[in-house]
Amino acid sequence: MTAFTLGEATALALGRVGGRIARGDGSRRSGTRHHTGAPVLRGSMEAGSFEDAFFAVPAKGECDRLLRTARAALDAGRRLKRSARAERRALSSAERALTALTAGAVRVFEEICMLARVNAGRVFPTYDRLAQATALGRATVARALVALEAAGFLVRQRRFKRVEGTGPGPRWEQTSNVYRPLHPARIMGLLPRWLRPAPLPVDVMQREADRVEAVAGMMAGLSCRELANVTVGGALGRMLARLGSAIDGQSCESHNDPQPLNSLMIQVANASA
């Protein structure tokens, strides 16, 4: 029988051993240290595997429009906070996201927009880089990014990368996030009317609806192999295409071993005869 000290027994009772969250199946929940010792956070993707599809080159003047929208959202959030306090009413989730914006968050967003304009949309600064550029603390930068993401001004993706190490197995470590500035669709209805984009014409909306319907019909008519080739690329797409080809071969009716007729089809054939 294994003997435990009082501290070890308390740690086991709380489900934490050595700073890791223990589970009944022996695995560890996401957010704990990686089995190689490197902290890989939940939702992280390998650097270099998705950036081409994530980044987008901003249009001419788009970064300036985004920054004007952020500054107007900061003023609108302050006015909304004062009016809600005077009326003693609760805020909706979109209103809370708007009032959570701060001057520091707008300054961080300004730096992200500048990097997007200079680097053709490829934005991946570290927290320390943003803190140095904005003269804000690292914790303030982290809170600003959370507020900007909640308001819809940007989308970010965590990343990890492979590092050299000794011993068997790969080694990974967390690297800088990637960011993409966006127009805040979630809070756009709370901003002044002149900041809202003009609605699309009816004929443009109808053409888009027809295009979506046509694409859906085309996708529905594809075989499993063709669907894998169209929707997934790379090595995973080739593997899924081989699997889809096997599924197509099993589902198709063979001339040597035809699919048996069900009872309803036999009754219909006998009645017609």
Q: How much is the pLDDT for 134?
A: 96
Q: Which CATH architecture best describes the domain 46-195?
A: Orthogonal Bundle (1.10)
Contact 123, 156 (CB under 8 A): no
Distances in whole angstroms, Cα of residue 201 to Cα of each of 126, 188, 198, 206, 207: 41, 19, 9, 9, 10
User: How many C-alpha atoms does 31 have within 13 Å on its Cβ side?
Assistant: 4
Query: What is the per-residue pLDDT for 15?
Result: 43
Residues of the chain short of pLDDT 50, as ranges, are: 1-2, 4, 6-7, 9-32, 34, 254-255
Residues of the chain with CATH 1.10.10: 46-195
Instruction: Express each pLDDT in 111-124 by its tens digit.
Output: 999 999 999 999 99
Convert the pLDDT of each residue in 68-84 to its tens digit: 999 999 999 999 999 99
- Whole-number Å distance between alpha carbons of 114 and 193: 25
